[in-house]
Structures are given as C-alpha cells and as structure tokens.
Amino acid sequence: MDSINSMLGTNAMLSIVSHIFFIAIAFYALQSLMYEKIFKKGKVFQIQLLLILLSIALGAAVSNFFLQFVNWSQQLQYLF
C-alpha cells in the first residue's frame, strides 16, 4: 500500500512540474508574436490576458501529451 501512495505522489509531482514547465515554455514562445498588428491599440490588458490564457491552453496540451507518452512507454513492458 505504501508503494502505491508513493507512486501516486510521484505521478502527481511529475504532472505539476510538467504543466508548469510547458506553460512557461509556451508563454516564452508566444511572446515572439507581434500582437500589435492584430489587436486594437491601447488594449494592453486584453492582449496580456489572451497571452496568459493561450499559454495555459497550449502548455497544458503539450504537457498532457508528454505525460501520456511517459505513461504509454511505462506500459510497454506488458507487451512482452
């Protein structure tokens, strides 16, 4: 029972770190876009809010893919 709790805790910590890491990378990557040409002038708060929300959505999607890939690779041992 103790090993199951340890495994669950490890998976939870890996998920949290993975999500934060990929959200930060997405935020960094999205800063390279030139939003001034798309949005109205003077809408700085709305642009920043959109940047944060897009970073969360993109980072979470990439993190979920990464975590599923890790999970699938661990399950390959049951194939043989």
Domain boundaries, the chain: 2-78
Residue, of 26 and 35, whose pLDDT is higher: 26
pLDDT at 19: 97
Closest Cα to residue 23, out of 45, 54, 44, 48? 54
Q: Is the pLDDT of residue 17 over 70?
A: yes
Residue with tokens 């805790």: 9
Residue 68 has pLDDT above 90, yes or no: yes
The answer to pTM > 0.85 is: no
List the structure tokens of 23: 């959200």
Quick: pLDDT tens for 33-63.
888 788 888 888 998 999 999 999 999 999 9
Cα separations in angstroms, 9 against 18, 26, 76: 14, 26, 22
